[in-house]
């Protein structure tokens, strides 16, 4: 009787893994917003995977919103507690004195500890590869990413940026790798995805284009990224109708997600802790996320 009761959850887990083979094996990074986490497989952004972030219209050239979105994601990585999320299939060792023992899992020493800084203190180094050094430290700090954790790698050519990202994904001590490129060959994206899976490091690709023709071509190309996001700017709503610019607002579109449906949300931009939050006018709406397209796009 007791053995059967223990067997049932195991069978459920087994069946879940068969149904959703794309479940992330390195854990997830939740957004903290229920509406977004519900749509993503396993309730968050897959770690150990490649994610692609695009800007919209004029922002494709500057990449400010994409950078802010990426900064929020990476900043939240530092604040992730080391308690294992339910989808992890291996136990996370937390013997470091900083975290203390959280539950029974804390006292287990697992020989298959994942790399990428997990469990050894989340404060790893973030590698940001970009063609022009136009990131501003104070702006990053305002979105939740501590600029002291950044190592900037400046490379004028796309293939050099891809090479630098791959090197970063293979090195120990790196928490996340962010790269800004224009042209992405599908083979290169596959390599990045494999490298990310092997090491458990989250890899973010920001697409920036100066040329409209190149943008139109690249947007339509498929690649191996697990999720594809598009961030667009929305007019802000200052509090109580005061004049001036209020808290920044974004439209976040999940264009493509492996194991999930496309969706879009209107949120307020990442704050100093890196969290986005649903815009106030949407708080009263029903909990279902607003899907603007019911079909999967080819990209």
57 is a contact residue toward another protein (CB under 8 A): yes
Total interface residues for another protein by CB under 8 A: 66
Residue 205's DSSP bridge partners are 52, 179
DSSP state letter for 90: S
Q: Which of 27, 84, 168, 274 binds another protein (CB under 8 A)?
A: 168
- Per CB under 8 A, the segment of 26-34, 41-49, 65-73, 211-219 that binds another protein is 65-73
Calpha distance 153→174 (Å, rounded): 14
Whether residue 201 contacts residue 177, with contact meaning beta carbons closer than 8 Å, is answered with yes
Calpha distance 80→265 (Å, rounded): 23
92 is a contact residue toward another protein (CB under 8 A): no
Calpha distance 281→283 (Å, rounded): 6
Whether residue 169 contacts residue 101, with contact meaning beta carbons closer than 8 Å, is answered with no
Q: Pairing relation of β-strands 249-257 and 227-234?
A: antiparallel
Site mask, another protein, residues 105-144, x = CB under 8 A? ------x-x---x--x--xxx-x-----xxxxxxxxxxx-
35 is a contact residue toward another protein (CB under 8 A): no
Residue with tokens 């997830």: 28
Closest separation between CB of residue 137 and another protein, Å?
4
Site mask, another protein, residues 140-159, x = CB under 8 A? xxxx--xxxxxxxxxx----
Closest separation between CB of residue 18 and another protein, Å?
32
- Residue 182 backbone phi and psi in degrees, to 5: -105, -55
Q: Which is nearer to another protein, 177 or 184 (CB)?
A: 177
Closest separation between CB of residue 135 and another protein, Å?
7
Calpha distance 202→115 (Å, rounded): 12
Q: Is 53 in a helix, a strand, or coil?
A: strand
Calpha distance 188→267 (Å, rounded): 32
160 is a contact residue toward another protein (CB under 8 A): yes
173 is a contact residue toward another protein (CB under 8 A): yes
From the list 222, 244, 161, 193, the residue with the least C-alpha distance to 50 is: 193
Q: Which is nearer to another protein, 19 or 240 (CB)?
A: 240
- Per CB under 8 A, the segment of 7-15, 170-178, 182-190, 254-262 that binds another protein is 170-178
Q: Maximum CA pair distance of the chain?
A: 68
First to last CA, the chain: 50
The H or E element that residue 178 is part of is strand 174-181
Calpha distance 139→71 (Å, rounded): 10
Q: Which of 269, 275, 279, 289 binds another protein (CB under 8 A)?
A: 269
45 is a contact residue toward another protein (CB under 8 A): no
Q: Which of 28, 36, 263, 270 binds another protein (CB under 8 A)?
A: 270
233 is a contact residue toward another protein (CB under 8 A): yes
Closest separation between CB of residue 251 and another protein, Å?
9
Closest separation between CB of residue 236 and another protein, Å?
6
Q: Which of 240, 244, 294, 295 binds another protein (CB under 8 A)?
A: 244
- Report the interface residues with another protein, using CB under 8 A: 57-59, 61-65, 67-69, 71, 111, 113, 117, 120, 123-125, 127, 133-143, 146-155, 160, 163-164, 167-168, 171-174, 232-236, 238, 243-246, 248-250, 269-270, 272
């Amino acid at each position: 009787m007791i053995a059967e009761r223990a067997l049932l959850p195991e069978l459920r887990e087994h069946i879940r893994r068969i149904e959703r083979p794309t479940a992330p094996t390195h854990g997830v990074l939740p957004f903290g917003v229920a509406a977004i986490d519900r749509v993503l497989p396993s309730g968050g952004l897959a770690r150990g995977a490649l994610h692609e972030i695009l800007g919209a219209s004029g922002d494709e050239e500057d990449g400010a919103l994409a950078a802010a979105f990426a900064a929020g994601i990476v900043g939240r990585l530092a604040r992730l507690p080391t308690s294992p999320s339910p989808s992890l299939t291996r136990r996370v060792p937390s013997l470091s004195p900083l975290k203390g023992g959280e539950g029974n899992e804390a006292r287990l020493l697992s020989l298959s500890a994942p790399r990428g800084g997990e469990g050894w203190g989340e404060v790893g180094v973030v590698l940001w590869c970009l063609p022009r050094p136009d990131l501003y430290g104070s702006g990053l700090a305002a979105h939740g990413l501590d600029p002291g954790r950044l190592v900037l790698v400046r490379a004028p050519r796309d293939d050099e940026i891809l090479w630098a990202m791959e090197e970063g994904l293979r090195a120990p001590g790196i928490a996340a790798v962010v790269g800004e490129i224009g042209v992405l060959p599908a083979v290169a994206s596959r390599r990045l995805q494999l490298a990310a899976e092997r090491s458990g490091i989250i890899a973010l690709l920001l697409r920036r284009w100066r040329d409209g023709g190149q943008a139109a071509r690249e947007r339509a190309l498929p690649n191996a990224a697990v999720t594809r996001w598009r961030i667009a700017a929305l007019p802000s709503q200052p509090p109580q109708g005061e004049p001036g610019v209020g808290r920044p607002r974004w439209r976040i579109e999940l264009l493509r997600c492996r194991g999930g449906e496309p969706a879009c949300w209107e949120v307020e931009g990442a704050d100093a802790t890196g969290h986005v939050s649903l815009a106030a006018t949407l708080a009263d709406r029903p909990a279902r996320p607003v899907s603007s397209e019911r079909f999967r796009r080819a990209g």
